[in-house]
């Protein structure tokens, strides 16, 4: 397999995560084209080397150039798709019109498309047929990555050579990349752990204690394994950074948007619709509905994930939902 040499990395999406990944590439001495639909963001990145809304404490490298012209990303030999999962189809569709024969594209959003139940690799295949997918996932708070704090990630592709190629460009001593041949497992874990984090946050908001949170994580990992296997992935992928690593980080830290959102849901001080408006991107909100539909269609037992969907999307009473979960037989696996 012959890969193009890289001297410029294109990043589709200049949110906190896209900007953090731009700092990783720049730290490895690659020029970066960082796209956002908002020209104000691109202007600030170019004029003062800072993002106006995210990671405001991070001075960006002069190697990072902002743009609101998506065709400039399409000219780069390595492209990372970092727009939110529910916007990935739209972003890739726009990009597809400005890219010539892409060999591979690295997907960095963690979620399942709400309307279709598609993984991000499915969305890529439908918008850019024949483009090989690499999945970048793992326990990664954007602020820590941008500051160069030690981080481990999974890079997964059907052909590990595609993942290794990205690892050589993006990896380093402070951004350690572990290569996997299971993109399905990496995606399922990355998406479902956001829903699991909301469940843990709700438990924290209802003052159920650390024991309850540990139980939710334990049983949630079982549910993730069920969905992974049903979709053709390997349950062994849970032992990678994109699996247990991401679950532990996202389900136990107040820095996690999904955990913090769940905690506020559990406190019941504000309506869920108002919380969504004020919380930024909470990938687990949309993914909860996707997983509930998938589990029903595939006839998989995922009671925790389904309970979160019932609370968020069907207006179920939180305490009644918790009681129903606790009333399940302990022999129910």
In the chain, % of residues over pLDDT 70: 97
pLDDT tens readout for residues 230-277: 999 999 999 999 999 999 999 999 999 999 999 999 998 889 988 888
Question: Distance between CA atoms of 184 and 233, rounded to whole angstroms?
Answer: 5
Give the pLDDT band (50/70/90) at residue 101.
Answer: low
Active-site amino acid positions: 193
Query: 38: Cβ–Cβ under 8 A, 6 or more apart, which residues?
Result: 14, 68
Tokens for 205?
A: 């908001």
Question: Distance between CA atoms of 151 and 141, rounded to whole angstroms?
Answer: 9
Give the pLDDT band (50/70/90) at residue 60.
Answer: very high
Let me know if domain 8-181 sits in CATH 3.40.50.2300. Answer: no
User: Which residues belong to CATH 1.10.1040.10 in the chain?
Assistant: 184-326
Give the pLDDT band (50/70/90) at residue 333.
Answer: low
User: Which residues belong to CATH 3.40.50.720 in the chain?
Assistant: 8-181
In the chain, % of residues over pLDDT 90: 89
3-state secondary structure at position 18: helix
pLDDT tens readout for residues 63-90: 999 999 999 999 999 999 999 999 999 9
pTM comes to 0.93
Question: Distance between CA atoms of 54 and 64, rounded to whole angstroms?
Answer: 15
The sign one gets for the Cα dihedral 21, 22, 24, 28 is: positive
* C-beta of residue 123 within 8 angstroms of C-beta of residue 92: yes
* C-beta of residue 54 within 8 angstroms of C-beta of residue 142: yes
- Architecture of the domain made up of 184-326: Orthogonal Bundle (1.10)
In angstroms, the first-to-last Cα distance of the chain is 44
Question: Distance between CA atoms of 236 and 240, rounded to whole angstroms?
Answer: 8
Mean residue pLDDT across the chain: 94
CA distances from 258 to 70, 94, 116 (A): 29, 28, 22
């Amino acid at each position: 397999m012959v890969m193009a040499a890289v001297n410029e990395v294109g990043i589709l999406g200049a949110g906190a995560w896209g900007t953090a990944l731009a700092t990783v590439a720049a730290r490895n001495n690659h020029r970066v084209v960082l796209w956002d639909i908002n020209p104000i963001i691109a202007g600030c990145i170019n004029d003062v080397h800072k993002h106006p809304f995210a990671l405001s404490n991070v001075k960006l490298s002069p190697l990072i150039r902002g743009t609101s012209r998506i065709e400039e990303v399409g000219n780069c030999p390595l492209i990372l798709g970092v727009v939110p999962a529910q916007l990935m189809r739209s972003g890739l569709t726009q990009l597809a019109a400005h890219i010539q024969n892409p060999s591979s594209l690295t997907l960095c959003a963690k979620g399942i498309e709400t309307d279709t139940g598609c993984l991000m690799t499915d969305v890529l295949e439908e918008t850019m047929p024949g483009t090989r997918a690499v999945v970048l996932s793992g326990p990664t708070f954007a602020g820590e990555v941008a500051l160069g704090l030690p981080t481990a990630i999974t890079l997964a592709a059907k052909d590990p050579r595609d993942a290794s190629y990205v690892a050589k460009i993006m990896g380093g001593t402070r951004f350690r990349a572990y290569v996997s041949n299971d993109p399905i497992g990496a995606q399922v874990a990355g998406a479902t752990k956001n829903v699991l984090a909301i469940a843990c946050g709700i438990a924290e908001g209802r003052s159920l204690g650390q024991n309850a949170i540990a139980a939710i994580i334990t049983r949630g990992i079982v549910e993730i394994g069920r969905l992974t296997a049903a979709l053709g992935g390997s349950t062994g992928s849970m032992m990678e950074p994109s699996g247990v690593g991401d679950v532990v980080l996202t389900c136990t830290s107040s820095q996690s948007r999904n955990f913090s959102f769940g905690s506020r849901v559990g406190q019941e001080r504000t309506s869920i619709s108002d919380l969504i408006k004020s919380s930024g991107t909470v990938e687990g909100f949309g993914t909860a509905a996707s997983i509930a539909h998938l589990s029903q269609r595939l006839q998989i037992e995922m009671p925790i994930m389904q309970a979160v969907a019932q609370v968020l999307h069907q207006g179920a009473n939180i305490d009644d939902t918790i009681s129903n979960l606790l009333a399940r037989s302990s022999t129910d696996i």
